[in-house]
A and B are shown apart, each in its own frame.
Chain A
Amino acid sequence: MDKQVKESLTVSPFFIFFLIHGSQTGVGMLSFQNEIIKNAEQDAWISVLLVGFSFHLIIWMIYFLLKRSTKGDIFSLHQQLFGNWFGSILNIFLYVYMILITSSVIRSYVETLHVWAFPYIEIWELSLIVLLATTYIVFGGFRVVTGICFWGVVIPSLLLFTLYYLFPYAQWDNLKPYLNHSWNDYFNSSKNIIYMYLGVGFLLIYFPFIKDNVNSKKWAHISQFYTTFIYFILTVTSLVFFSLGQLEHITWPTLNFSKIIYLPFIERFEFVYIFTWLFVILPPCCVALWSGTRILRKTINLKAKYSLWISSSIIYLVVINFKSQIEVETLNRVVSLAGSIFLFCYIPVLFIWLNIYNILFKRKRYKH
């Protein structure tokens, strides 16, 4: 069983850190605060940690599944478990999911751009250039996508230092009273931010491109932990910086608190945030588009070049058809729901089904 593609195409396991962490952070980071405080309120940071830790379980399941698939990715697993025909249908569902992720990320980012920086530039123009940049990166193949994930983690990490400017204004009393919510509240808040962690799912597709992939689990868990840590810091910072009432009404709290930063030569620091954010949204876009291309290529044997252009065109059509901000939020909600179902329902079901399947039919084959 060969779970790895040609060695020259692979990247070292260390890069799983950048691939997973890079594809988890996206536009959601600018605005997730008003979603999580809906139920858990000042205890929302508990929910962030809960979801974060639950994803370690998902990563464990994903590795379990991938180790037992013939080619180390989910489409071979689909075809192995459900046969060619039904497997392909599942793959197409996966493709639609990938397209939706890319569209939602690009569209939300363009919405931010439109509101904050370019009210006079049309949506179609902004989405076109962002999409073209994404397509250019994906054209370079998986190694280039990985490289962009690397830069997409390193460059925006510099922004973390700017949080320092917020501390003089922090109201630590905002966090009190501690832990006065019911499990139900935590659970409901958690549900709202699952979409912040969806990037883990791409592992199911690019797994064969990791060198020595079976033993790369360590990096996946480290990156998941790091993401949780970053979100935790951001949540706490927003909670101490804004009151709950403010958080409810501010659309992009992360951008808003960047307004407080003042340097002698830069007045409105949020512009630096918005444009650097391109590097934050590129990893999820590129990885999702690359994954979509690969699914299309593997499932219906289309040439990579065509399947990439087809995917990009579909994404573009989707993106320009969502006009108002309310529609964009609907799109995000759909993606969030689809992702939650995919990772928290489908993966466990697949996990259980694979176990039953192994016990019932092919026990011998995997034993050696």
Chain B
Amino acid sequence: MVLFFNKHNKKKLTNKSKPIKVVFEQAKKSSDFHQYSPFDDSDRLLISYYKSMVDVEKVNRLLLPSIQKHIGKTTNLDDIKNYIPFDDLHIVKDGSDVQNKLMQGYAMIQLNELYTQFLAVNIENNGLGIRKNNDTENEFTVVGPKVGFIENMDVNIHLLRNKISISDLVIEEVIIGSMSKTKVAIAYLDGITNPQNIQTVRQRLKDIDLDVVFDNSHIDQILSDNSNTIFPTFLSTERIDKAVFSLVQGQIAVLSNGSPYVITGPATLMNFFITPEDYYFPWIIGSFFRVIRYFSVIFSIFATPLYVAILTFHYEVIPEVLLGPLINSRANVPFPPVLEVIFMELTIELLREAGARLPTKVGQTLGIVGGIVIGQATVEAALTSNILLIIVALSALASFTTPNYTMSNAIRVLRFPFIVTAALWGGLGIAIGMVFLFGHLLRLKSFGTPYLVPLFPFRRKNFRDSFIRSSFDYTTARSKFLRPLKIRRYTPKRDREDINNE
């Protein structure tokens, strides 16, 4: 790992080895850099570190006392190695190495200012300022574990290893970001995940040139095969069970330090509508909820465009009995259906956006009050019809059933082009919109894998766990489109007492 790290750095930054003097001069400009000797004669031993990066407790309790105690028999750095109570120790000579190690929270010990060798002692305090645990707040399930990933990558890897306790789970680390030096890790199952896919991820991560990695979603967008799309091409999740499920299927996970979201790929459209609860409930109930989710997606995309299309062009389609209430509710509305719908949809978007930005407690109250008051008032002021209000509210509700937040955003955006085409060409507009949507989805790829698997390319066996979630007796195989090295996951054994086994 260290080797990889060094090679990587040299390639990216092209900073040749700096003289140590320059390194320390640069560091001394910062007020949190400390360089001192624990003894009176300062040329005997010198300790330097960034106070903000190290655990001061460790310095005072362990590092300094042990050095002060044994200084008598210390002649070179290897002697210190023997008595110092830390395990992560390196001898470094190169100036830029010294600089990197200092930034990572190492303390540098040098015996004499003239000597060019340093002992780097890892006393980093990487938990500082980072929350210790995370409840899965954004991807909630009633049943199942509640622990989610946090901002510290080491903890995240620990959480992954807790679930997959075999050494086949391989974690490869790279450093991305010329300024942030963010640790990014690829996790996969050796001997199961397709090596070609791993190589693709490795290569794409290597090619990334960024200054600061703010979040994993940042990397997600750069890794993506197609940047001109509203659809997420990788699944990002804060749930451990989801990430583990992807890994077990033969997908690759990418973690980055400082982000509680793990991205997994190659993903398909179907992956975004799966929740862990589908597997925690009996398969019939799980499948029922899954089917409801698919219907709600279709409803939330097409409900308002259909309203526009029918009211603008094809009012003949509505039966007479239904036409009455519709006319009644729209009788006083002065706008054409498009304006009415766009006005209402934008109102809902406003409420959603405001709800997402406001502090939690205020947001909820305001959302409910605003929703009810605005809804009631707009109908009374004859700006919209009652029926539209119901449709818009229902489709907003339906769009929130999508378990993945990025996908649910995509679905929210998707209805606007449909509304416009429906207003221009009615039902034909919706059909044309669908053609463009299908054309776009057919082009999308995630790490080179088609996005619409198992529908296109058609994979019959994958249907066991796509629209419905079949019983665990049948979902024994990994998806073929990921080209895993081993297809079979487990072999179910169940005693049956039906007529076949009598």
**Chain A interface residues toward B at CB < 8 A:** 11-12, 14-15, 113, 117-118, 121, 126, 129-130, 133, 136-137, 140, 143-144, 146-148, 150-151, 264-268, 271-272, 274-276, 278-279, 282
Taking the nearest CB of chain B, how far is it from the CB of A155, in angstroms? 9
Question: Which residues of B445-476 have CB atoms within 8 Å of chain A's CB atoms?
Answer: 452, 455-458
Task: Find B317's partner among A118, A130, A264, A271 (CB 8 Å cutoff).
Answer: A271
Q: Would you give the 0/1 interface string for B409-436, flagging 1 where the beta carbon is closer than 8 Å to chain A? A: 0000000000000000111111110111
* Chain A neighbourhood of B457, CB < 8 A: 11-12, 15
Task: Find A275's partner among B316, B318, B428, B439 (CB 8 Å cutoff).
Answer: B428
Taking the nearest CB of chain B, how far is it from the CB of A269, in angstroms? 8
A278-B317 in contact (CB<8A): no
Task: Find A147's partner among B427, B432, B452 (CB 8 Å cutoff).
Answer: B452
Task: Find A148's partner among B314, B318, B438 (CB 8 Å cutoff).
Answer: B438
The 4 closest A-B pairs by CB, nearest first: A147-B442, A275-B427, A278-B431, A267-B319
A-B contact pairs, 16 of them (CB 8 A): A118-B425, A129-B425, A130-B432, A133-B435, A136-B439, A143-B442, A144-B439, A148-B438, A150-B456, A265-B319, A267-B318, A271-B427, A275-B427, A278-B428, A279-B431, A279-B434
Q: Would you give the 0/1 interface string for B357-381, flagging 1 where the beta carbon is closer than 8 Å to chain A? A: 0000000000000000000000000
By beta carbon, the residue of chain A nearest B456 is A147
Taking the nearest CB of chain A, how far is it from the CB of B450, in angstroms? 8
By beta carbon, the residue of chain A nearest B433 is A133
Secondary structure dominating the interface of B = helix
Give me 13 other A-B pairs in contact (C-beta within 8 A), A11-B457, A147-B456, A151-B438 excluded. A14-B458, A118-B425, A126-B425, A126-B428, A129-B432, A140-B443, A148-B439, A265-B319, A266-B318, A268-B317, A275-B430, A275-B431, A276-B431
A143 to B443, alpha carbons, bound, how many Å? 8
B316-A118 in contact (CB<8A): no
A271-B439 in contact (CB<8A): no
Q: Would you give the 0/1 interface string for B299-324, flagging 1 where the beta carbon is closer than 8 Å to chain A? A: 00000000000000110111110100
A117-B319 in contact (CB<8A): no
Number of A-B contacts (CB under 8 A): 89
* Chain A neighbourhood of B319, CB < 8 A: 264-267
- Tally chain B residues at the interface, Cβ within 8 Å: 28
A272 to B317, alpha carbons, bound, how many Å? 9
A121 to B322, alpha carbons, bound, how many Å? 27
* Chain A neighbourhood of B428, CB < 8 A: 113, 117-118, 126, 129, 274-275, 278
Taking the nearest CB of chain A, how far is it from the CB of B457, in angstroms? 6
Secondary structure dominating the interface of A = helix
A119 to B271, alpha carbons, bound, how many Å? 43
Task: Find B314's partner among A117, A279, A282 (CB 8 Å cutoff).
Answer: A117
A151 to B435, alpha carbons, bound, how many Å? 9
A137 to B313, alpha carbons, bound, how many Å? 27
Name the residue among B322, B425, B435, B452 with the largest chain A CB count within 10 angstroms: B435
A148-B316 in contact (CB<8A): no
A278 to B434, alpha carbons, bound, how many Å? 10
A150 to B453, alpha carbons, bound, how many Å? 13
Question: Which residues of B207-226 have CB atoms within 8 Å of chain A's CB atoms?
Answer: none
B316-A271 in contact (CB<8A): yes
* Chain A neighbourhood of B316, CB < 8 A: 267-268, 271
B435-A118 in contact (CB<8A): no
By beta carbon, the residue of chain B nearest A146 is B456
Taking the nearest CB of chain A, how far is it from the CB of B444, in angstroms? 10
* Chain B neighbourhood of A266, CB < 8 A: 317-319
B425-A121 in contact (CB<8A): yes
* Chain A neighbourhood of B458, CB < 8 A: 12, 14-15, 150
Task: Find B313's partner among A15, A117, A148, A151 (CB 8 Å cutoff).
Answer: A117
* Chain B neighbourhood of A121, CB < 8 A: 425
B317-A267 in contact (CB<8A): yes
A278-B432 in contact (CB<8A): yes
Name the residue among A11, A147, A272, A279 with the largest chain B CB count within 10 angstroms: A147
A266 to B430, alpha carbons, bound, how many Å? 17
A148-B435 in contact (CB<8A): yes
B314-A271 in contact (CB<8A): yes
A150-B458, A271-B314, A271-B316 are contacts. A117–B426 as well, Cβ < 8 Å? yes
A235 to B125, alpha carbons, bound, how many Å? 79
B442-A274 in contact (CB<8A): no
* Chain B neighbourhood of A279, CB < 8 A: 431, 434-435
